Amino acid sequence: MLQITNLSKTYPNGVQALKNVSLNISNGMFGLLGPNGAGKSSLMRTIATLQDADSGTIQFGDINVTTQKEELRKVLGYLPQEFGVYPKVSAEEMLHYIARLKGIGNDKERKELVKALLEQVNLYQHRTKYLGGYSGGMKQRFGIAQALIGNPKLIIVDEPTAGLDPAERLRFNNLLSEIGENIIVILSTHIVDDVSELCNDMAIIANGQVVQKGHPEALVTQLQHQVWTKKVKKEEVAQYQGEYKVILSKLSAGAVVIYVTSENDPGIGFEAHKTTLEDIYFANIS
Ligand code: ADP
């Protein structure tokens, strides 16, 4: 169990990135969903011991993350948002190098591990290619392979599918869900579908604060029968925003569809909409 309690962080420039964040996270895939600038990376970096919070605590099992950074690092796999690779090194060489750094000195053991990891992330056939020639999806799968070295108990992946094409994203998400069965995987993302497809527990973070947390399906029931849509003209949107609680407006074949929350039928032209996690997300960040 990872217990985050009352975590706050203000950067030297005065931006308060985390405000009293508290979360309890247990085994499985946990989705941390929020818009750009919400504080996701700040939270991920703090859990990964790369920066300190101003106040609050993080406890992972027996490990006090603030005071026992080295202990946490031994059980952590981390795929940062900006994952740079050495362009003129092959995936196989790089994994050997990282495995040696992580203390796997025995040649035979390391060889077997690197082979198993390359197979797991489906890069075995590309193992001798330079990382510089990898596609976005291949780089991310390589990133997961390196994060898995050392049998981590906690894996943090920060916005991993941003920039991947749909097929690459699907492949990457399938890989993540296989990994997430026996350990904690925290997936930070602004892509709602990644969370609804993969995560059994989640939180929505906005302006440095946790605004919702729980099982995705349970969150969806909060607004059941309370979301309504209407096709309107572009120039009418502002007027509707004044009169209704518009959580989202989407382009649809040249027109605009507005999404409104209301306990009662808002009236002529509105249609009942089956609530989705996307509605919950926009209702909480707008
Ligand atoms: P997210 O990952 O959700 O996009 P971040 O944690 O990166 O959010 O950023 C949260 C806020 O903190 C933003 O306003 C961002 O500009 C600011 N921020 C992030 N890192 C730093 C930093 N090192 N110094 C100053 N401000 C920062």
Q: How many CA atoms lie within 13 A of 205 on its CB side?
A: 28
pLDDT in tens, 75-131: 999 998 777 788 999 999 999 999 998 888 899 999 999 999 999 999 999 999 999
Q: State in Å: Cα 37 to ligand 1 middle.
A: 6
Q: Minimum mean pLDDT among 90-94, 148-152, 223-227: which range?
A: 148-152
Mutate to test the pocket of ligand 1, among 7, 42, 158, 205 (most ligand atoms within 8 A of CB): 42
Q: How much is the pTM?
A: 0.91
CA nearest ligand 1 atom 14, residue: 37
CA nearest ligand 1 atom 19, residue: 42
In this predicted structure, the answer to whether residue 168 has a pLDDT above a threshold of 80 is: yes
Is residue 214 very low, low, confident or very high in pLDDT (cuts 50, 70, 90)?
A: very high
Name the DSSP letter for residue 229: E
Closest approach atom of ligand 1 to CA 18: 10
pLDDT in tens, 8-59: 999 999 999 999 999 999 999 999 999 999 999 999 999 999 999 999 999 9
Residue ranges per domain, the chain? 2-214, 221-285
pLDDT in tens, 20-31: 999 999 999 999
Q: State in Å: Cα 185 to ligand 1 middle.
A: 22
CATH H superfamily, domain 2-214? P-loop containing nucleotide triphosphate hydrolases (3.40.50.300)
Q: How many CA atoms lie within 13 A of 219 on its CB side?
A: 26
Token pair in block for residue 72: 């946490």
CA 45 centroid distance within chain:
13
CA nearest ligand 1 atom 7, residue: 41
Residue with tokens 């094409």: 165
Token pair in block for residue 33: 């969903």
